[in-house]
Each structure stands twice: as C-alpha cells, then as structure tokens.
Chain A
Amino acid sequence: MVDAATTHAIEYTINGERQQATVPARRLLVHHIRDTLGMKGTHIGCDTGSCGACSVIVDGRLVKSCMMLAAQADGTAIETVEGLAPDGALTPLQQAFNEQHGLQCGYCTPGLLMAASFLLRRNPNPSEAEIRRAIRGNICRCTGYVNIVRSIEAAAGPAASERAA
C-alpha cells in the first residue's frame, strides 16, 4: 500500500553527469527520469514492459526503464536519448531516421534509437533479420517498421563508417 516512508538514497550517472537523489522505494526508474529529472525524451507507452518506449541503456545493457525501480539504478551509468547527440549534431543513426523517414509521430522513436544504438554497438553490421529481432521489443504503430529497419540498415556498417570519416 502507501509506503512512501521507505526511501533510498541513490547515486548514478545519466548521460555522463553525476546525480544524487532520494527516491521512494516504489518509484519506477522511468518516472524518476521523467518526473524528477524532467527529462522528457524517455516515453511511456504501456504498463507491462511490452512496448519499449521507455528503453534506456544502463551499464551498457538495454533496459526498459518501466521494469526497473529507481532504487536499482544506484551505482549505475544510465544513457537516454538526450545523451545521443549532446552537442545537438545528430548521430548517423538519428540522421538515418530523418533521411529514411523512420519516424512519424515520434513517440516510440527514443526507445527505438536506444535499442538500435545498443544493437549497433554489439553488431555494427546486422542483417535485416538481426535488426528485426533487436527491435522486437519496441512497438511502433505508425511506420510498419519498414523505414525503421531501413534507417538502422543505413546507419550500420560501411555507411556509418563513411559518415563518421
């Protein structure tokens, strides 16, 4: 029941910045990111860990931040969509989403960018099947995934290296 009395002091980094906070034990990480830190890029699309709109990277692993308590973030390094292009210049992946029309309403986009970033770090040259498997936990209702897959393909492998050069 109502148990806000139990709180935890936590310390973590988010997009490289050190943070300290005292959080109610029951507070979800996604609500901490959105409501306490005021970072609005991480979205919520369901309450069952199904949709992936809240995906962030915690200690190098892709995590649905509605499936994790804020208290569990103690001592971790968190990355969110706001951290992808801190200086405002879009990353090759973000550029590819723009060029390939990989987003419409943009609500699922931050989660997909995190899932795709996670994939490309581990596998810079994924096949279409690997891309589809990697984003199966992210629901998009606008694009039919066609241009999302194209965006990730365009950002992967040689195209990504060329752009970086």
Chain B
Amino acid sequence: MTTTAPPQTETWKGQSIRRTEDRRLLQGQGEFTDDVWMHRQGYAHFVRSPLGHARIRSIDTSRAARLEGVYAILTGDEVREMCPTPFFQIAPEPGGRIAEYPLAVDKVRYHGDAVAVVLAETRELARDAAGLVDVDYEPLPAVVDTVAAADPEAPLLHEQVGSNVVWKGDFDWGDVDWALENADHVVKIDRLHFHRFSSTPLECNAAVVHWDPGTDTVKVQSNNQMPMFASMVIGPTLGVASNRLTFSSQDIGGAFGIKIGSYPQIAALALLSRKAGRPAKWTEYRTDHMLSAGHGNERVFLDTEVAVLKDGTILGFKTRAFDDAGAYLHYEPLGAVIWSQVCCGCYKLRHIHVDYTETVTNKCPTIPNRGYSRLQHLWFLERVVDVVARELGFDPVALRKQNYVQPSDYPYETPNGCVYDSGDLPRSLDMALELIDAPKWRERQRELGRGSGKRIGIGIGSTLDSGTNNFGQARIINPNLPFSGNGEAAFVKLDLYGEINVNLGTTPQGQGHETTAAQVVADVLGTSPDAVHVTAGFNQQQNTYVAFSGTYASQFAVTGLGAAQGAAERLRAEIAEVAAFALQAPIDEIEIRDGNCFVRDDPERAIPFIGVANLIYSNNAVLTPELRERISLNCRYVYTPPFQVPDPETKTGNLTLTYASQIHACVVELDEHTGEVKILDYAALDDCGTRINPQLVEGQVHGATALGIGAALYEAFEYDESGLLQQASFYDYHAITALDTPDIKVGDIESPSPFTPNGAKGMGEGGGAPLHAVCSAIQDALSPDDAIVSDSHNPWERVWRLMRSGEHGEPRGVTVASRSDAAGSDATA
C-alpha cells in the first residue's frame, strides 16, 4: 500500500492512489460499533409494536423483570416522565405539534414502533426478556397511503395535529398557466408513484451508550452519520448539555443517509443506561432495521400537466405531489424543500408549479436515503420527458438534448434561483449511448420479431446530484428556523517530531476520507500522502467540528476537503514563518518540500519539519515572544460556502453549491411470458468536476448504480392495509446480489466547479439515475398502446401486466390535448 511519488509537475490530487483504510478492513481489524465493548455493559433489545396502529392499554413488565440477568426495563410512560421535552420538530404548525419521545407513548403508530426497551446480561437474554413484556393493544384502523391519509376522514395518527397533513406548500415559479395556455400540446399524466425502499446498509444501526455518573456525561459510541444533528435533537430531550453529550465512531458499515435516523434509539439507550447504571450496548437485528430504522421517501404525483411546443420545447409543468413521511417526522419535512434543488432537473424548464403535501401514515418513518428527495423528483421529470416523447412522437434522445441546459448556459440560474455550476449534459448523453453502443441495440430491437417472446428497450436516466446544501432552505419549510449556510471543520497539525496529523469533522462510511484528505494535505505541504496521518473516524472530544459535521448529502469533496485544504494552508504558513525565523531568511524565499523547509536559492540552508516542531513544542525560549504567542502548529479551518438566506415567501434562493451530473443508459430485455426484466447492457457517465481520486469516484458510481437497479427491479417496502410490513428481512426484501447486477460501464467528463476550492463536486448519491433509466427502458420496450410506466418499482408481475395492458384496453394513464393548429405538426416527424 505504498504510494510512489508523482512527477514533479503533478499533484496527488487527481490520482487513484490506493486507500489507506483498506489494510485494517481487509484483515478484520476495523472497529465497527458492535466491536466496542465496555466494562459492566448490558445488551439492549427493543420491544416493538406488532400492529400498524393501536392504542396501548397497558404494559406489564413484571414477567420480564423477574428473569435473572435483566438489569432494567424502560417503557414509554417512564420515558415521558424522564424527558423535559419531546424531540425538537423541524416542522412549523401543524406538524410541529407532534410530540415524539424516545419510546412510544399512549399509542403505537407503525409496525415496529418501539414501546419498551430491556437491558440484560446477554444478547439472548435481552431478546427473551423483550418477548416477555406484555403489551395490551387496542387495534386502530390504519392508513398506509399518503393520498388517502390527506383525506379528513382518514384515521388520525397524531390527534394534536388535527390532520395527517403535516406540511403543505405551493411552489410556483414562472407562469405555468401561461405556459399551458400557450403550449401546442398539453400532456396529462394521471398518477406517478415513487415507491419505498432503503439502501439498507449492511451494518445495522448500533450504539454503546454510557450515562456516566462519575463525570456526569453521556458518551455515545455509535454509527450515527450526522452526530451533531443527533446531539441537537436529543440533548434537550435528555436534559443534557451538548458539551456533556459526546459522539464518536470509527468504522461505519455503510449508511447512505439511513444512519441519520438512529437518534431516537440512542436517546432511549441513554435513559436506559441512566436507569440501570450501566453502559447500554445495542446492535439492531436486521428485522428491527427493516421495520424501524427508516425508509426512503415514497411520493405520488397526481394530475400532472406538461406544456410542450410543437418543436419539442418543454415549457414547464404542474403537478400535485404527496409525500409519505411515515409515522413520525425524522428529519422531515425537509424533504418537502430539498427536491427543489433540482426543480427543473437537467432541463431548461421555466414554468413550474408543484402543490406539495406531506402526510404522516402508519408506516416506518422516512429518513434521507441516498439521493434524498431529489431522486423522487428527478424520476418524475424523467418519466415526464419520456412520456412526452412517446405521446408526441419525439425521439427521446433528441428531446432530451434539445431541452437540456446547454454547456454555454453555465452558470445557469433555475426558476427558483439555484445556480447550476458547470457541466456538459448533451455530450454526457452521447458518451453514455456510445458506451452501450445504442445503434446496435436499436437494430437488435427492430430485428426481434413478434413471437420471439422477448422485447428489447433502451432507456436513459438524466440526473443531477446536487451537493453541499444551503441549510437556509429549511426556512422555506419553517421561516422561524435559525439555520442557514453549511460548513465543515478540519484540524491539521505538525506533531511533536514533525509528523503531520489531520482530523476531520466527518463520519466516513466507506468513502475513503483518510485517503483523499491525505492527498489534499500532501499537496499543500509538499509531501507524500504516506507522510500524512488522518485520524480514523470521528471523536467529538478530540476532533474539531461544526453543527453541520458528519457525512451526508454529497459534500465531502467540497466541504470536508475544503476544510482540510484550508487548515493545511494555515499550517504551511506557520511552518514557513518558523522556518524563516530559524533560517534568518525572508518568508517569501522559504520553500517547503518533502518534509523540509529551505531557502529557495540556497537549499543548503534548510530546517526539517522536526526542527520546526521542536522550536514550537519544546524549545520555545529561543523564539521571539511574538512567534511564541502566535504560532501553535495546530491549525483549524472551517470551510463555509458562500450562501445567502433563501426567501421563504417566493421559495427561491441558491439552495446548493454544486451540481454533479450522471447520465445513465441501459438496455433491458423483457420476457413476454414471465415479465422478467434482464439488463443486457448498462453505462453510467459521471461528471463531478475535478476528481480527487478517480478510482474512488468510480466506486461510488458503481455502488449508486447497483442500489438504483435494485430499487427499480427488486427492492420495495410494502404494507398491507392494517399497516404490516411485508418485507421485514433479507428473505423478503431482495437486496440486489452479484447475480442481479450487470457489469457497469463507466465513463467520465470533468467539468470543474467554479464555486469550490478544488473544482470538485459532491457526487456520492448519484441522483437515482438507474431508476429513471430502467423505467425508461421498460417503457421503450412496451407497445405504443400499452400503459405508461407509472411506478418506479417494476417487478416481474407489474411488467407482465404492462405488456398486456394495451390489448386489454386498460387505461394508459396519459392523455394529450393539442391545439388544432398543432395537430400533425413537426412534433410527429
């Protein structure tokens, strides 16, 4: 794992050096949360609701408590007494009235809602004892559909809210009525449904929480990926000040946003630890994870109308969106604004009206899942474009290219004030189609005659991965929220013998932060990444941080590496100053390379880093008082993007700093007899600006692609009418395997971002492009009189039915109204 020196003119940035993290992970020496062990620890197990919606009549813990080795049991009623306040809510009224505690109080609102938690001597005993907690439930009718939930007659989840509608907003930019009136064609789409799934990180949630009476601090060792958010939410509920509530993690086994959502359990574990006087160790079982760790957002789009000119220009659209947040608002309703970072997707749409309703339902609470809230909207837009192409007879490739934001348009301001930084979408699409050799497949598609039993389809998914959020967009949801901007912190120091050490505010989950931060710092300090040690993981007591710290939302390459670069530059300046003093040379003649400082035209006059460190740490009487005072060789830097506060009235502003793009192309084969969808070819074209480590970027592209294909074809969380989850394990939830995943071809363009310190853009989420591409390809394989692909999840049975929808005369889900003078126009050419 040694790295070799780059040619003098090159930088470490941009090279696919191998990861330093790998050695420990390949040898079973990583430290994941379940590997953490504390003296006197007990094992925790949650008692979860077997029903979708019910009143809790009573909870009897006596049978469980009698087991030898059970240390403590907590119930919702007890938790309510212990907590000064329920969890802070992001939502304004009425959603803000939801009172959520670490355990369910009075009612359970979804299958898996936690009503009690047990601490016991062993894992097995904790689970047994949880099974002996007797809960008497009075079942209530459930509501599992977001549109139905908005009906005033629907069963009510949170009585104090008065409705299941927790947030509602009108997003209206441009003049969509004008566009619809002046369009040559209006394409109307009845209903589009984006389904529930999750990236289901392979390591489940876990935490070891110790409410330590000795120091009166709460120590949380966990795999939560956004620990400062968790701290700010649970601190007040626990009645613990933030400087006495400390989070740490080393290795995290995947997160994808889902691990933002473990804070209610962590809060319950803190109370359990306090009650038992012991550390509480919790490792979620997979079944618990599927039931309660958080699912991605499900969204329905009703009565969509798209305004199209006869030359193919798409003017805009209007729709009614219903978002299903599940039973409680965890991080929601932020999703109700986050989609608007990409309100027009890759396209120059100027007239947009979205009537947005967010409801609660008797389902697992949603939590940001890779592509959070944008992939739902991007999928919707890609369906819109494909449906328009099909209904009006346009070539879907040409229609996309015509309506894409063009390379000459950057920086491109969207109708809601977001600024797209750079890119080349038409070329990206061409390259993606080249990678799959699209003409070859078109030919094959034509050759496949009726009776072959197979159909071929080619599909495109165009996406933006918006990165580095402006948290000020939260004010569009709730104008009273005191949040705006973003940032990340890093700390770079020269240690006692001149070693370079870096620590970050981030919580990496496989993205290679130790490696890429070392590349960036090595460039600034003129050394090799091997000479830069990046502390593994996050430790609130040792690392530096800001309230935004963590790893989420496609931003490390900008915020994390921006902070590392800034801190390294500060350290470089300090080193140069000490060297200038030691060598008695002007500071602008000091050069730094390979761990040495020397005078430019007289390289014999040199001082190594160890000498610089010696002067500051252990030999400071030789310094001037001024240098002693000012130089520490311990440099902190907080990178902050240049954001302003968005306008909650017009719902406009610069909501994100960077826009990476991914354009995917795929070829599917449908089996007419079974509905099986087989992927014959797949390509992903990625443009994330300057790539710090191309191999790691490619790895992210592969991973996001596989998760998207899995979601499109295999992975779904579905509930029955009473609110029972049908896929609560990896038996029923088919996480995509090596057999289901095609070999993914990857290509790239680098359009550096003019807005970031290093030209990079965040890119980890990928925008859900495979969902769009696979749906697009299935659509392409269907007959013109078949129904449109209106669901993001297309298992065999749904595809089988779609292939028969035309001949059965089923509603197609789409109608077109054309002006009389537009009929037979260019549009059908």
Please list the residues of chain A having a beta carbon within 8 angstroms of any beta carbon in chain B: 1-2, 4, 24, 26-27, 31, 34-35, 38-48, 50-51, 53, 80-82, 84-85, 88, 90, 94, 97-99, 101, 103-110, 113, 128, 131-133, 135-149
Which of A84, A98, A104 is in CB contact (< 8 Å) with B18?
A: A98
Whether, in the assembled complex, B754 has its beta carbon less than 8 Å from a beta carbon of chain A, the answer is no
**A109 and B737 contact, CB distance less than 8 A:** no
Q: List 13 A-B contacts (CB under 8 A).
A: A27-B124, A40-B32, A44-B34, A47-B285, A50-B729, A88-B27, A101-B698, A101-B699, A104-B510, A108-B202, A133-B739, A141-B256, A144-B744
Shortest beta-carbon distance from A23 to chain B in Å: 12
Which of B28, B125, B283, B739 is in CB contact (< 8 Å) with A132?
A: B739
- Bound Cα distance from A133 to B740, whole angstroms: 10
Whether, in the assembled complex, B647 has its beta carbon less than 8 Å from a beta carbon of chain A, the answer is no
Residues of B within 8 A of A128 (CB): 743
Residues of B within 8 A of A108 (CB): 202, 253
**B202 and A45 contact, CB distance less than 8 A:** yes
Shortest beta-carbon distance from A32 to chain B in Å: 12
- The answer to whether residues A48 and B25 also contact, given A106-B510, A144-B705 and a CB cut-off of 8 A, is no
Whether, in the assembled complex, B520 has its beta carbon less than 8 Å from a beta carbon of chain A, the answer is no
Residues of B within 8 A of A80 (CB): 28
Which of A2, A101, A113 is in CB contact (< 8 Å) with B696?
A: A101
**A2 and B125 contact, CB distance less than 8 A:** yes
Q: Which residue of B lies closest to A104 (CB)?
A: B510
Interface residue ranges of B3-24 to A (CB < 8 Å): 18-19, 21-24
At the interface, is chain A mostly helix, strand, loop or mixed? loop
**B27 and A82 contact, CB distance less than 8 A:** yes
Whether, in the assembled complex, B511 has its beta carbon less than 8 Å from a beta carbon of chain A, the answer is yes
**B27 and A81 contact, CB distance less than 8 A:** yes
Residues of B within 8 A of A94 (CB): 26-27
Shortest beta-carbon distance from A56 to chain B in Å: 11
Residues of B within 8 A of A104 (CB): 254, 509-512, 699-700, 703
**B203 and A105 contact, CB distance less than 8 A:** yes
Residues of A within 8 A of B743 (CB): 128, 146, 149
**B201 and A149 contact, CB distance less than 8 A:** no
**A107 and B699 contact, CB distance less than 8 A:** no
- Bound Cα distance from A146 to B704, whole angstroms: 12
- The answer to whether residues A26 and B699 also contact, given A106-B22, A139-B202 and a CB cut-off of 8 A, is no
Q: Which residue of A lies closest to B22 (CB)?
A: A98
Shortest beta-carbon distance from B426 to chain A in Å: 26
**B203 and A90 contact, CB distance less than 8 A:** no
- Bound Cα distance from A53 to B19, whole angstroms: 21
Please list the residues of chain B having a beta carbon within 8 angstroms of any beta carbon in chain A: 1, 18-19, 21-32, 34-35, 37, 67, 122-125, 128, 199-204, 251-254, 256, 283, 285-287, 509-512, 695-696, 698-700, 702-707, 729-731, 735, 737-739, 741, 743-744
- Bound Cα distance from A137 to B737, whole angstroms: 8
At the interface, is chain B mostly helix, strand, loop or mixed? loop
Residues of A within 8 A of B509 (CB): 104-105
**B124 and A85 contact, CB distance less than 8 A:** no
Residues of B within 8 A of A81 (CB): 26-28
**B203 and A148 contact, CB distance less than 8 A:** no
- The answer to whether residues A144 and B731 also contact, given A43-B253, A101-B696, A107-B32 and a CB cut-off of 8 A, is no
**B699 and A90 contact, CB distance less than 8 A:** no
Residues of B within 8 A of A144 (CB): 702-707, 741, 744
Shortest beta-carbon distance from B46 to chain A in Å: 14
**B28 and A107 contact, CB distance less than 8 A:** no
Shortest beta-carbon distance from A88 to chain B in Å: 8
Residues of B within 8 A of A143 (CB): 699, 702-703, 706
**A136 and B739 contact, CB distance less than 8 A:** yes
In the A-B complex, the 7 residue pairs with the smallest Cβ-Cβ separation, listed nearest first, are A41-B28, A107-B253, A106-B25, A144-B706, A105-B510, A104-B510, A50-B730
- Bound Cα distance from A90 to B125, whole angstroms: 39
**B285 and A142 contact, CB distance less than 8 A:** no
Residues of A within 8 A of B729 (CB): 46-48, 50
Residues of B within 8 A of A113 (CB): 26
- Bound Cα distance from A139 to B18, whole angstroms: 23
**B510 and A149 contact, CB distance less than 8 A:** no
Shortest beta-carbon distance from A31 to chain B in Å: 7
Residues of B within 8 A of A39 (CB): 28
Shortest beta-carbon distance from B292 to chain A in Å: 14
- The answer to whether residues A46 and B699 also contact, given A82-B27, A144-B706 and a CB cut-off of 8 A, is no
Which of B23, B128, B199 is in CB contact (< 8 Å) with A90?
A: B23
**B22 and A141 contact, CB distance less than 8 A:** no
Q: Which residue of A lies closest to B705 (CB)?
A: A144
**B22 and A103 contact, CB distance less than 8 A:** yes
Residues of A within 8 A of B512 (CB): 104
- Bound Cα distance from A108 to B124, whole angstroms: 24
**B738 and A51 contact, CB distance less than 8 A:** no
Q: Which residue of B lies closest to A132 (CB)?
A: B738
Q: Which residue of B lies closest to A133 (CB)?
A: B739
Residues of A within 8 A of B125 (CB): 2, 4
Shortest beta-carbon distance from B128 to chain A in Å: 5
- The answer to whether residues A98 and B1 also contact, given A82-B28, A103-B25, A133-B739 and a CB cut-off of 8 A, is yes
Q: Which residue of A lies closest to B253 (CB)?
A: A107
**B286 and A47 contact, CB distance less than 8 A:** yes
Q: Which residue of A lies closest to B696 (CB)?
A: A101
Q: Which residue of B lies closest to A98 (CB)?
A: B22
- The answer to whether residues A145 and B731 also contact, given A40-B31, A101-B695 and a CB cut-off of 8 A, is no
Residues of B within 8 A of A133 (CB): 739
- The answer to whether residues A135 and B253 also contact, given A47-B729, A144-B705 and a CB cut-off of 8 A, is no
Q: Which residue of A lies closest to B27 (CB)?
A: A85
Shortest beta-carbon distance from A77 to chain B in Å: 18
Residues of B within 8 A of A148 (CB): 738
**A140 and B744 contact, CB distance less than 8 A:** no
Interface centre among B29, B510, B738 (most CB of A within 10 A): B738
**B18 and A99 contact, CB distance less than 8 A:** yes
**A42 and B699 contact, CB distance less than 8 A:** no
